[in-house]
């Protein structure tokens, strides 16, 4: 019934875009926690075309597909990208009072609740950084639902989870800085940005951090994209307009991933 690993994580910045066209397919799925069968869609991500936010929330069209990133069992409430799989620790977690309270809390936007439930499950399995990602995604859903207080609180929780886990890499630190700025923890955001800037990061990361530092100085807690921090990619002479849009979006994504992954 269960496997030793949780379902495939939604991953950093949401599902990783596939090279082929996206969409979703429905199928009957048996919940790995309670055994109930339900109709679920399996999400196939599309590559983002627009520039990502400074916390690497993907641009459209991937941005607008968050409702399809996670499956939820209608019987026990278990949440994961694929509920047919579950870590053994998850089966116990889903039955606990805090989990039941999370999925039933009507004061939270429904989509945020789903990401928080997934974060809870991940935290119970010890995957603190993945839990931080899911908590940040709950904040994105709160942004969309125009619940700024909840979004601020969940950004703060995401930072706490990141910092409770293993040492952070450059990408994670950039996102911690942005989450701190957007939750109006400007002092902590400034100190964290300064530390990262002093570590002589690659030029593009330095550009993002310099923008963060300007925004922190202005006490600006708003949403900004990396397009404001980095020079635009070069135009390709023989591409059609739609190809340019597509490639530039994917280009942003690929460039950032390359930059952040660089050792
Ligand atoms: Zn279930």
- pLDDT 10s digits, 1-31: 333 333 344 566 677 655 444 556 789 999 9
What is residue 148's predicted lDDT score, i.e. its pLDDT?
97
- pLDDT 10s digits, 90-129: 999 999 999 999 999 999 999 999 999 999 999 999 999 9
Determine which helix (DSSP H) or strand (DSSP E) holds 148, and give its type and residue range: helix 148-164
CA of 91 to the centre of ligand 1 (A): 9
CA of 33 to the centre of ligand 1 (A): 5
Q: Which letter does DSSP use for residue 244 in this model? A: H
CA of 15 to the centre of ligand 1 (A): 22
CA of 37 to the centre of ligand 1 (A): 8
Quick one: average pLDDT of 121-150? 96
CA of 96 to the centre of ligand 1 (A): 14
CB 143 within 8 Å of CB 121: no
DSSP-derived secondary structure for 227-239: GGTSPPPPPPTT-
CA of 94 to the centre of ligand 1 (A): 9
Residues 6 or more apart whose Cβ sits within 8 Å of residue 22: 43, 44, 45, 46, 47, 65
What is residue 3's predicted lDDT score, i.e. its pLDDT?
35
CA of 36 to the centre of ligand 1 (A): 5
CA of 260 to the centre of ligand 1 (A): 37
- pLDDT 10s digits, 194-204: 999 999 888 88
CA of 100 to the centre of ligand 1 (A): 12
**Please, which pLDDT band fits residue 250 given cuts at 50, 70 and 90?**
very low
Q: Rounded to an integer, what distance in angstroms lies between the CA atom of residue 77 and that of residue 117?
A: 8
Backbone φ and ψ for 41, nearest 5 degrees, come out as -95, 145
CA-nearest of 61, 82, 86, 64 to 11 is 82
Task: Copy the structure tokens of residue 76.
Answer: 């026990």
**pTM listed for this prediction:** 0.83
Q: What is the CA radius of gyration of the chain?
A: 19
Residues at Cβ < 5 Å from ligand 1 ion = 31, 33-34, 36, 73, 75-76, 78
Domain ranges for the chain, please list them. 23-261
Highest mean pLDDT among 85-89, 153-157, 207-211: 153-157
Q: Rounded to an integer, what distance in angstroms lies between the CA atom of residue 47 and that of residue 123?
A: 28
């Amino acid at each position: 019934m269960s496997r030793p690993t949780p379902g495939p994580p939604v991953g950093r910045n949401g599902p990783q875009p596939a090279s082929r066209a996206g969409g979703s397919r429905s199928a009957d799925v048996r919940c790995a926690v309670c055994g109930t069968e339900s109709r679920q869609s399996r999400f196939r991500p599309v590559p983002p075309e627009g520039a990502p936010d400074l916390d690497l929330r993907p641009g459209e069209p991937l941005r607008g597909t968050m409702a399809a990133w996670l499956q939820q069992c209608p019987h026990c409430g278990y949440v994961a990208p694929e509920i047919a799989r579950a870590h053994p620790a998850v089966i116990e977690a889903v039955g606990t009072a805090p989990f039941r309270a999370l999925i039933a809390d009507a004061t939270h936007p429904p989509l945020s609740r789903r990401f928080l439930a997934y974060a809870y499950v991940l935290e119970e399995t010890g995957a603190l950084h993945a839990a931080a990602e899911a908590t940040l995604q709950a904040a994105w859903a709160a942004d969309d639902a125009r619940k700024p207080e909840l979004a601020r609180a969940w950004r703060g929780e995401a930072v706490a989870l990141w910092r409770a886990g293993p040492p952070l890499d450059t990408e994670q630190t950039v996102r911690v800085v942005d989450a701190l700025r957007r939750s109006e923890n400007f002092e902590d955001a400034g100190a964290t940005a300064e530390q990262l800037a002093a570590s002589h990061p690659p030029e593009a990361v330095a550009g993002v951090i310099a923008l963060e530092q300007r925004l922190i100085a202005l006490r600006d807690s708003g949403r900004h994209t990396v397009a404001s921090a980095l020079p635009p990619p070069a135009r390709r002479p023989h591409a059609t307009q739609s190809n340019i849009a597509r490639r530039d979006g994917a280009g942003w994504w690929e460039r950032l991933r390359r930059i952040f992954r660089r050792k």
